Chains A and B, each alone.
Chain A
């Protein structure tokens, strides 16, 4: 049974550990992400969510453990075992602070990676236009990032991350530096994206959104996955006392 399911895993993480300056930030984390599913990672700040996400495209080097993408190991025995640019073309990432290239217009931001990867100019252009339409920003294609709102910038960043047709898209708190209106725009785009069958791993504090779109919710605390399962279960009837504490705290602070 597990064998058969494993074939459908886009990401397989096992025994992942990482420490910064001798302090363990990820402690023996194992997780599988199945194709065409949305995995939401929740947990209080400083728990290691960003570090976990950044290990998945090796922006951060784990100390130990293994990671496989589409069944092929990318990290094992403490060493990177893949071509990094190739890996990163199959694992897209959307940052909390957008990190758009300020010297380029929206459409050039989206075209940059495909052109660099050797996609012909015309095809890269058509792809970028399609993606900008998908995030409802075709009318802003030739605007520079500084001329756009936070919500618009983040949607361009999503289009940019999709331009190489990655097998999985990672989001690190994509709405936490946005105002409510922009948050709504970005969540709308992500909701539509989720419906297209793309695989997503999403660190978020938008619990209502996680409950709505996620297939799997993972609670990370102090570098460990303390609980995971269906959203209804983890978010409504958490088994672990830490999850329960986090959720009450979060609801009380009006987080969502």
Chain B
């Protein structure tokens, strides 16, 4: 059954894997930033900001990712806006996943109790500080499970980029298949690589969720602060 000379293809697979990771990192970072911006626009008191954000979200939530990929790669190319596969692929992932992430972020921000903002303003925190130090960290905790699901989903969706020959794992698989005609063997190996990427990622994110939930401070500043507090508290009054 195993007749593909894998040692000849190991560099191709490795490069495909790196490409898949690059798409995932770039796509997710962009989608998270754009998603947060869209979520904030949707929470604005100004209708002129809320409405376009709503249209954006509904548009990309109700169109298949593949259509977005074809539109950015072939569609934009046909009107003179030529993007290479990496640009078009990343842009598609960003646009598509930002719509979903904005929904998750919006409901997370809404889920932070009103009394929190009130307590923050009563302590003299300005709007920006209130968001940064009080609302955002709490919203992040609420958004974590949904966001993590989206990250793993995005990683798997990079395989759709095979349609624009994006040089990621699935594209490498297709090239190896056309050279060896061993579809079952090749795609089993490709599927296994996706699994090896996704399973530890989702388990790792669950572990992170549990740690945050248990109150383990993640930022070095907080760790340092709490250590200093413990040391100071050991000294009797």
Contacts and interface: CB of A to CB of B under 8 A. Distances in A.
Contact of A142 (B138, B226, B237): B226
A101 B119 CA distance: 8
A113 interface: yes
A193 interface: no
Interface residues of B, number: 28
A68 interface: no
Interface string B120-133: 11111110010001
Contacts, number: 87
A86 interface: yes
Given A138-B237, A144-B215, A88 B124 contact: yes
Interface in A119-168: 121-122, 125-126, 128-129, 133, 138, 141-142, 144, 160-161, 164
A99 B115 contact: yes
A143 to B, nearest CB: 9
Interface stretch (B55-63, B95-103, B227-235): B227-235
A112 B135 CA distance: 13
A103 B123 CA distance: 17
Contacts of A138: 233, 237
A117 B118 CA distance: 17
B152 interface: no
B182 interface: no
Contacts of B215: 105, 144
Interface of A is mostly: helix
Contacts of B228: 121-122, 125
A170 to B, nearest CB: 9
A38 interface: no
Contacts of A85: 124-126
B218 to A, nearest CB: 11
A88 B133 contact: no
B222 interface: yes
A84 B134 CA distance: 18
Given A85-B126, A88-B121, A138-B237, A125 B225 contact: yes
B74 to A, nearest CB: 46
A209 interface: no
Interface string B177-205: 00000000000000000000000000000
B123 A141 contact: no
Contacts of A105: 215, 226
Interface stretch (A5-13, A19-27, A89-97): A89-97
Interface in A66-113: 84-89, 92-93, 95, 97, 99-103, 105, 107-108, 111-113
Nearest to A94: B122
B107 interface: no
A59 B225 contact: no
Contacts of B237: 133, 138
Nearest to B212: A103
A142 B230 contact: yes
By size class, the interface of chain A is 35 or more
Contact of B122 (A59, A97, A111, A141): A59
B116 interface: yes
A59 B123 CA distance: 11
A59 B118 contact: yes
B137 interface: yes
Question: B119, B125, B133, B237 — which one has the most chain A CB atoms within 10 A of its CB?
Answer: B119
A116 B121 contact: no
Q: Which 9 A-B pairs have the closest CB atoms?
A: A99-B119, A113-B123, A88-B124, A89-B124, A85-B124, A99-B115, A93-B122, A107-B229, A103-B137
16 contacts: A85-B124, A87-B124, A88-B123, A92-B122, A97-B115, A102-B138, A105-B226, A107-B226, A108-B226, A112-B123, A117-B124, A121-B228, A129-B229, A141-B230, A142-B230, A160-B123
Interface of B: 113, 115-116, 118-126, 129, 133-134, 137-138, 141, 215, 222, 225-226, 228-230, 232-233, 237
Interface of A: 57, 59, 84-89, 92-93, 95, 97, 99-103, 105, 107-108, 111-113, 116-117, 121-122, 125-126, 128-129, 133, 138, 141-142, 144, 160-161, 164
Given A99-B116, A129-B233, 11 more contacts: A84-B121, A86-B124, A88-B124, A107-B229, A108-B222, A113-B123, A116-B124, A125-B229, A141-B233, A142-B230, A164-B123
